[in-house]
A and B are shown apart, each in its own frame.
Chain A
Amino acid sequence: MSMSESASTPATSGPASQEGFSPTQQERDELRRHGILLTSLEELYNWGRSNSVWPLNFGLACCAIEMIAASMARFDIARFGSEVFRPSPRQADLLIVSGTVTKKMAPQVIRLWNQMPEPKYCIAMGACAISGGPFKQGYNVLKGIDRYLPVDIYIPGCPPRPEALLHGLMQLQAQIRGQKLTGPDRPRHLRADTGCAYPVPEFGAHDLEPPANPEVWQAPSLPRSG
Chain B
Amino acid sequence: MTSPAAPSSFPSGLPSSPGAHVRAVHDDFHGDLLEVSMGPHHPSTHGVFRMIVTLDGERIVRLKPVFGYLHRNHEKLGEQTTYLASMPYTDRLDYLNSMTNNWAYAIAVEKLAGQAVPERAEYVRVILAELTRLLNHTCLAGFLLQDTGCSGTPLMYAFREREKILDLFESLSGSRMMCNFQRFGGCRLDPTPEWLAAVRQLVDGYGRFLDEFEALISGNEIVMARTQGTGVLTPALAISAGVTGPMLRATGVDYDLRKVDGYGVYPRFEFRVPLGAHGDTYDRYMIRILEMRESIQILRQALRDLPAGPILDPKAKNRGFRPKPGEAYGRIEGPKGEIGFYLISDGSPNPFRYRVRPPSFVNLTILEDMCLGQTVADAVIILGSIDIVLGEVDR
Chain A residues within 8 Å of B, Cβ to Cβ: 57-62, 64-66, 68-69, 72-74, 87, 89, 99-100, 102, 104-105, 108, 111-112, 114-115, 134-135, 137-141, 158-159, 161, 197, 200
Contact = CB atoms under 8 A, between A and B. Distances in A.
A66 B177 contact: yes
B70 A115 contact: no
- Please classify the interface of chain A as helix (H, G, I), strand (E, B), loop, or mixed, using the class held by over half of its residues: loop
B72 interface: yes
A200 B156 CA distance: 37
B17 A89 contact: yes
B73 A72 contact: no
Interface residues of B, number: 35
14 contacts: A61-B47, A69-B162, A72-B155, A73-B159, A74-B163, A89-B41, A104-B69, A105-B69, A105-B70, A135-B73, A140-B73, A141-B73, A159-B95, A200-B15
B95 A62 contact: yes
B176 interface: yes
Interface string B59-96: 00000000011111100110010000000110010011
Contacts of A139: 73, 76
A105 to B, nearest CB: 4
Contacts, number: 104
Nearest to B73: A138
B47 A60 contact: yes
B177 A104 contact: no
Given A69-B162, A138-B73, A111 B178 contact: no
Please name the 4 residue pairs, one residue from A and one from B, whose CB atoms are nearest each other, closest first: A138-B73, A62-B95, A72-B159, A87-B43
Interface of B: 15-18, 40-41, 43, 47-48, 68-73, 76-77, 80, 88-89, 92, 95-96, 155-156, 159-160, 162-163, 176-178, 390-391, 394
Nearest to B39: A108
B17 A115 contact: yes
A66 B176 CA distance: 10
Contacts of A65: 95-96, 177
Contacts of A66: 176-177
Given A105-B69, A138-B73, 7 more contacts: A61-B72, A62-B178, A69-B159, A104-B71, A134-B92, A138-B72, A139-B76
